[in-house]
Amino acid sequence: MTKTIQPAASHHVGGAPLEDTAGAEMPVIHPADGRVIATLHAATPAVIDRALESARAAQADWAARSGTERGRVLRRAADIMRDRNRALSEIETLDTGKPLQETLVADATSGADALEYFGGLAASLAGQHIPLGGGDWAYTVREPLGVCAGIGAWNYPTQIACWKAAPALACGNAMVFKPSEETPLSALEVAAILTEAGAPPGLFNVVQGAGEVGHALATDPRVAKVSLTGSVPTGRKVYAAAAEGLKHVTMELGGKSPLIVFDDAEIEDAVGGAILGNFYSTGQICSNGTRVFLHRAIRDRFLERLCARLEGVRTGDPLDESVNYGPMISARQLEIVQGYIAKGLEEGARLVTGGRRLQREGFWLEPTVFADVADDMTIAREEIFGPVMSVLDFDDEEEVVARANATAYGLSAGVFTRDMTRAHRVIGRLEAGTCYVNSYNDAPVEMPFGGVKASGVGRENGTAAIEHYSQLKSVYVRMGRVEAPY
Site string for ligand NAD, 422-461 (x = CB under 6 A): -----------------------------x----x-----
CB of 229 to ligand NAD, least distance (A): 5
Q: 226 or 423, CB closer to ligand NAD?
A: 226
286 as an active site residue: the answer is yes
Judged by CB, which is closer to ligand NAD: 214, or 277?
A: 214
Q: Which is nearer to ligand NAD, 176 or 286 (CB)?
A: 286
Rounded CA separation 298/394 (Å): 10
* Site size with ligand NAD, rule: CB under 6 A: 29
Going along 129-222, which residue ranges are E strands?
A: 129-131, 137-144, 147-151, 174-178, 204-206
- Closest residue by beta carbon to ligand NAD: 214
Cα 7 from Cα 479, distance rounded (Å)? 60
Active site residue 307: no
153 assigned ligand-binding residue: yes
151 forms part of the interface with ligand NAD (CB under 6 A): yes
State the amino acid at position 205 in one-letter form: N
Q: 250 - beta bridge partners?
A: 227
Collect all residues with Cβ–Cβ distance below 8 Å to 335 and sequence separation of at least 6.
Answer: none
**Cβ neighbours of residue 436 closer than 8 Å, sequence gap 6 or more:** 273, 412, 413, 414, 415, 442
Least Cβ distance, residue 441 to ligand NAD (angstroms): 11
Q: Which is nearer to ligand NAD, 417 or 441 (CB)?
A: 441
Q: Quick check: is 98 catalytic?
A: no
CA distance 379 to 346: 11
Of 92, 95, 116, 383, the residue at the interface with ligand NAD (CB under 6 A) is: 383
Query: Please, are residues 168 and 469 in contact by the beta-carbon 8 Å criterion?
Result: yes
In the list 254, 318, 354, 410, the residue contacting ligand NAD (rule: CB under 6 A) is 254
Sketch the per residue contact string, 159 through 178, with ligand NAD: x for CB under 6 A, - otherwise: -------------------x
For helices 420-429 and 397-405, what crossing angle results, to 10°?
30
Residue selected from 96, 155, 290, 441 as contacting ligand NAD according to rule CB under 6 A: 155
Quick one: which segment of 42-50, 110-118, 232-240, 263-271 binds ligand NAD (CB under 6 A)? 232-240
Check binding of 231 to ligand NAD (CB under 6 A): yes
Helical H segments across 228-365, by residue range:
232-244, 267-279, 299-310, 331-346
Catalytic residue among 148, 162, 286, 435: 286
152 belongs to an annotated ligand binding site: yes
C-alpha distances out from residue 213 to 17, 108, 160, 179, 208, Å:
18, 25, 17, 10, 7
Residue 362 engages ligand NAD in binding (rule: CB under 6 A) = no
Q: Is 383 annotated as a binding residue?
A: yes
**φ and ψ of 146, to 5 deg:** 130, -125
Interface residue with ligand NAD among 181, 227, 401, 432 (CB under 6 A) is 181
Given 247, 252, 256, 435, the catalytic residue: 252
Q: Edge-to-edge strands of the sheet including 137-144?
A: 129-131, 137-144, 470-477
Closest distance of CB 237 from ligand NAD, Å: 4
- Of the candidates 102, 116, 164, 189, the residue annotated as catalytic is 164
All residues at 6 or more sequence positions from 47 whose CB lies less than 8 Å from its CB, including other chains: 11, 13, 18, 20, 23, 207
The reply to whether 286 sits in an annotated binding site is: yes
CB 248, min distance to ligand NAD, A: 16
Candidate list 148, 197, 206, 286; residue touching ligand NAD; CB under 6 A: 286
Q: Which is nearer to ligand NAD, 411 or 423 (CB)?
A: 411
For residue 102, say whether it is annotated as part of any ligand binding site. no
Figure out which of the listed residues 72, 237, 381, 403 binds ligand NAD, where binding follows CB under 6 A. 237
Sign, CA torsion 296/301/306/311: positive
Q: Are the CB atoms for 327 and 317 separated by under 8 Å? A: no
- 302: burial class by Cβ within 10 Å (0-12, 13-18, 19+)? buried
Q: Is 399 a catalytic residue?
A: no
Q: 62 labelled as ligand-binding?
A: no
In angstroms, how far is CA 160 from the centroid of its own chain?
5
Among 230, 289, 327, 386, binds ligand NAD (CB under 6 A): 230
CB-nearer residue toward ligand NAD: 37 or 443: 443
CA-to-CA distance for 163 and 143, rounded, in angstroms? 19
Is 178 annotated in a binding site? The answer is yes
Instruction: Supply the minimum distance, in Å, between the C-beta of residue 29 and ligand NAD.
Output: 14
For 456, the enclosing helix (H) or strand (E) is: strand 456-457
The number of residues making up the chain comes to 486
Question: Cβ distance 52 to 223 under 8 Å?
Answer: yes
Side chain identity at residue 460, one-letter code? E
User: Residue positions in the annotated binding site for K(+)?
Assistant: 29, 95, 246, 453, 456
| Interacting residue ranges for ligand NAD, rule: CB under 6 A | 151-155, 178, 180-181, 210-211, 214-215, 218, 229-231, 234, 237-238, 252-255, 286, 383, 385, 411, 451, 456
User: Residue positions in the annotated binding site?
Assistant: 29, 95, 152-154, 178-181, 246, 254, 286, 383, 453, 456
Supply the residues annotated as catalytic: 164, 252, 286, 460
